[in-house]
Amino acid sequence: MESRRGNILSDAEWYCRKDPEEERFYEIFFLMCQKYGVRWASAAEKERQFIEEVTRVTYERERALRLGSPLSDVRPSFAS
Q: What is the pTM of this model?
A: 0.75
Q: Which domain holds residue 67?
A: 19-73
Q: Helix or strand or coil: residue 62?
A: helix
Q: Give the per-residue pLDDT at 18.
A: 79
Q: What is the pLDDT of residues 13-69, one digit of tens each?
A: 766 777 889 999 999 999 999 999 999 999 999 999 999 999 999 999 999 999 999
- Collect all residues with Cβ–Cβ distance below 8 Å to 28 and sequence separation of at least 6: 55, 58, 59, 62
Does 69 fall in a domain? yes
Overall domain count for the chain: 1
Does 33 fall in a domain? yes
Does 4 fall in a domain? no
Does 9 fall in a domain? no
Q: Give the per-residue pLDDT at 80.
A: 65
